[in-house]
Amino acid sequence: MTKRVALVNGKIFTALEGQGEVQALLYEDGRICEIGSDSKILDIIGGRESGSAYVVDLGGRTAIPGFVDSHNHVLSAATLLEGVNCFGLKTIDELKAAVAAKAAQAEPGEWIIGAGWIESQFAERRLPNRWDLDEAAPDNPVCLTRLFGMVVVNSKALELAGIGHGFVPETGRVDLDPAGEPTGILREGAVNYIRRAMREGRGTRVQGRIGAREASEGQETARRILLALNELLKYGITSVLDPGVTGDTMRAYTRLWATGALPLRVSAMPAWHGMSAISSPDYVPPAVEAGLQPGVGDEWFRIGNLKMAIDGGLGSKTAMMHAPFRDGTRSTVPARLDLNKLGRYISHAHALGWGVGIHCCGDLAQDIALSHMAEALSKRKALPHQRHHIIHGYYPTEYALDTMAEYDIGVSLQPGFIYVEGDIYPDNIDESLLAGFKPARTYLSRGIRVAINTDVASGPYDPFITLYGAVARKTMAGLDFGKAEALTMREALRCFTSGGAYLAYRDKECGVLAPGYLADIAILDRDILDADPEELLRVKVVATVLGGEFVYLTEHGPEVPGELKKS
C-alpha cells in the first residue's frame, strides 16, 4: 500500500548547499517528493484533514538528514554494548571495578573484553597494566582496547597468547618493564597475538557471545552486527560505512542483506594491507577476486573502497610524523605494512577500478600515501566509481593539500577525537600544534571533500560528540584547540550527512533531504542549528525515520500514526 506522509511544523535542515531550513516535507513510499513551507506541503495534499496523506506534526522540533557515519567499526560498537565500556571511567580503580563486575558474571576462563579507554581520562594519568586487571579478574583473560591501536591485557591473556619474558613480536610492540616482563600493553601488530588466541579458542569463549557449539561464527557475527546497528538507530544514524571488513563479517553482512534483516544501510570496505587481519603480502580480498567494484549493491548494502593502513595514532605516539614527538622520539612502532610495496598495492587497486581509503594519522604517512596515489592517478584518471580518500589526516602538509585538491582525494575526519583523546596530546606534541589538528576548515577551503564520522571504538558512537569536536574543538577537560579550524554547525552537519554519503557511495540516495532522496531523518529534542555548541553534549534523538518508517521513537517525539511505525 502506498504511504504518503507529510512532516510539518518543523525546522528541517536539508543539507542542500544554498538552501535554508524548511518547515515541511512530503515523502511517498520512503522517498521525498517535495520540501518547502507548511502551506506548500499542505496545499499539495489538500490540507491536514484531506485523508490523502498521513500528517505528522513535528511541534517545532528540529529535523536533520539521518547521519551517514562514514567510519564506524560496527563490531567495536557491539563490544562497547556487551563488554566493558570504558568511556567516562575516571580512575583506574573504576576501571578495575567495571572489569570485576563483568568477571563476577563470567565463567572461569571466559574472555572479558572492552574498549574506549585512554590514560588521560584516569586521575592517575598512567597506563593501566596487567597487574591492575589481574586484581579485577584473576581467573579470566581480559583484553581492553584503547582508543587507538593499543590494548591492555592481564596475565591470563598473555599466557594464552604465548607472550612471556622478553617477548619481541614480529610487528608492533609489547611493552616490557625494566626486568623484561610484559606490562600488559600491546601496540599495533602485537595485538594480533591476542586476537589469534581468541579466534583459536584458547580460553573458553568471549563473555556474552554464543559458544561455538550453539552457533556458527557467522551467526554470532550477525548477532553482534544487529545488536550494534539497532543501537545506532537511537542516535539518528541511518547509514554506516564499516572500514576494514574481513571475510566472516562480510559474509554476515551479505546474509543479513539477502534476508532483508539489515536494520539500517551499510557500506562495507574490504580489509586490505596494513589491517591487522591481513598477514600475507599477496592477499587479495574476495570482493576483488569476485570482480566486484566500489558502489556495487543497493540502498541497503553496498561495497566501499578497500581499507588500508600505514601508521597508528598521536596519543599512543604511533603516528608517522616528519618531526619527532615532544620527548624527541619518533613513532614507537614500524609501519603497519611494507612501505616498499605500498606503491604496487595502490597502483594495482587503482588499475582494477578500486578506490582506496588509507589510514594515515601522521603527516609523513599521509605524504607517502598521497605520493603513490598521485602516481597512479597521473597515469589514469579515476573512474566515476573510484573515490580514493585519506583517513584521519591530522596534519596535512602543503604537498598533501595540493595533491588532494588536484586529484579529488577526499578526507575522512574524526573531530570527536579532540573531545575524548585531546587531553593527552600536549604530552606528545607542542601545544602550538593543537590549533591545526584535523584542520577541517583548511581542507574545505582548498576544495577537498570532507566527511566527519565517529570511528567507533576510537571514539564513542554518539554522533553529537563528533559534531562537538568539529564545532567547539574542546576536550573533555575543557582544553581549547582554538577556532581557526572550527566548522559552523551547518557545515559540520553537511560533512556528517552528504559528505559521508559520498564516501559511502550513497550520495545519489541519501545524505540530503531533497526530492528523489530516501526519507532518512533524525528528529531532535532541541534546536542545535543556532544554539550554543555546548547543547551538543545534551541533545537527544527523539525519533529516527528510515526510508519513511519510524524505526525509533521515544515518548518525547512527535505523535505518529501506528501505521508509520516499525512493526
Task: Please report where in the chains the cell 529534542 appears, as a residue.
Answer: 525
pLDDT value at position 207? Answer: 63
- Could you read off the pLDDT of 519-537 as tens digits, one per residue? 999 999 999 999 999 999 9
d(CA 430, CA 297): 46
DSSP letters along 259-291, please?
A: TT--SSEEEEEEB-TTSTT---TT---HHHHTT
Mean pLDDT of the chain: 94
54: pLDDT strictly greater than 80: yes
pLDDT value at position 188? Answer: 83
Number of domains, the chain: 3
Domain-located, residue 206? no
Task: For residues 138-158, give the mean pLDDT.
Answer: 93
- Per-residue pLDDT band at 210 (split at 50, 70, 90): very low
277: pLDDT strictly greater than 80: no
Q: Beta strands 521-524 and 62-65: pairing type?
A: antiparallel
Backbone torsions φ then ψ of 551, nearest 5 degrees? -90, -15
pLDDT value at position 220? Answer: 92
Domain-located, residue 538? yes
Yes or no: say if 244 and 271 are a contact pair by the CB < 8 Å rule. yes
Q: Which residues of 107-127 are buried (b: 16+ CB within 10 A; e: fewer)?
A: eeebbbbbbbbbbbbbeeeeb
- Could you read off the pLDDT of 167-202 as tens digits, one per residue? 999 888 999 999 999 999 999 889 989 999 998 877
With CA atoms as reference, report the closest residue to 309 among 356, 363, 371, 241.
356
- Could you read off the pLDDT of 398-409 as tens digits, one per residue? 999 999 999 999
CATH number of domain containing 170: 3.10.310.70
Yes or no: say if 470 and 67 are a contact pair by the CB < 8 Å rule. no
149: pLDDT strictly greater than 80: no
- Among the candidates 475, 503, 531, a domain finishes at 503
Q: Beta strands 150-153 and 173-176: pairing type?
A: unpaired
Domain-located, residue 208? no
- Among the candidates 503, 534, 552, a domain finishes at 503
With CA atoms as reference, report the closest residue to 274 among 330, 312, 236.
312
d(CA 202, CA 200): 6
Q: Are residues 59 and 138 in the same domain?
A: no
pLDDT value at position 204? Answer: 63
280: pLDDT strictly greater than 80: no
Q: Are residues 317 and 448 in the same domain?
A: yes
Q: Are residues 253 and 348 in the same domain?
A: yes
- Report whether the peptide linkage leading into residue 457 is cis, meaning its omega lies within 30 degrees of zero: yes
Task: Please report where in the chains the cell 525546522 appears, as a residue.
Answer: 11
Amino acid residing at 415: P
Q: Are residues 231 and 380 in the same domain?
A: yes
pLDDT value at position 148? Answer: 77
Q: Are residues 231 and 186 in the same domain?
A: no
pLDDT value at position 1? Answer: 42
- Could you read off the pLDDT of 18-40 as tens digits, one per residue? 999 999 999 999 999 999 999 99
pLDDT value at position 209? Answer: 56
CATH number of domain containing 553: 2.30.40.10
Yes or no: say if 113 and 143 are a contact pair by the CB < 8 Å rule. yes
- Could you read off the pLDDT of 412-442 as tens digits, one per residue? 999 999 999 999 999 999 999 999 999 999 9
pLDDT value at position 282? Answer: 81
Burial class (CB in 10 A: 0-12, 13-18, 19+), 334: middle
CATH number of domain containing 305: 3.20.20.140
Domain hosting residue 148, numbered range: 84-199
Q: Are residues 26 and 53 in the same domain?
A: yes
d(CA 111, CA 201): 10
DSSP 29: T
pLDDT value at position 479? Answer: 96
Q: Which residues of 475-493 are buried (b: 16+ CB within 10 A; e: fewer)?
A: bbeebebeeebbbebbbbb
Indicate the Cα dihedral angle 357, 360, 365, 371, nearest 10°.
30
Which three three-digit cell numbers place residue 539? Answer: 541533545
Domain-located, residue 457? yes
Q: Which residue has the higher pLDDT, 279 or 258?
A: 258
pLDDT value at position 212? Answer: 45
Domain-located, residue 509? no
pLDDT value at position 540? Answer: 99
Q: How many CA atoms lie within 13 A of 54 on its CB side?
A: 22
Q: Are residues 224 and 359 in the same domain?
A: yes
pLDDT value at position 199? Answer: 82
d(CA 395, CA 400): 9
pLDDT value at position 208? Answer: 60
d(CA 473, CA 114): 27
Q: Are residues 290 and 384 in the same domain?
A: yes
Yes or no: say if 357 and 305 are a contact pair by the CB < 8 Å rule. yes
Q: Are residues 497 and 521 in the same domain?
A: no
Q: Are residues 493 and 537 in the same domain?
A: no
214: pLDDT strictly greater than 50: no
Domain-located, residue 508? no
With CA atoms as reference, report the closest residue to 238 among 390, 114, 64.
64
- Among the candidates 476, 503, 530, a domain finishes at 503
- Could you read off the pLDDT of 61-107 as tens digits, one per residue? 999 999 999 999 999 999 999 999 999 899 999 999 999 999 999 99
- Could you read off the pLDDT of 363-399 as tens digits, one per residue? 999 999 999 999 999 999 999 899 999 999 999 999 9
Is residue 321 classed as helix, strand or coil in its secondary structure? coil
Q: Are residues 311 and 455 in the same domain?
A: yes
Task: Please report where in the chains the cell 579478574 appears, as a residue.
Answer: 137
Q: How far is CA 262 from CA 245, 258, 266, in A?
A: 16, 9, 8
Domain-located, residue 76? no
Q: Are residues 22 and 155 in the same domain?
A: no
The sign of the CA dihedral 417, 478, 534, 233 is positive
Domain-located, residue 268? yes
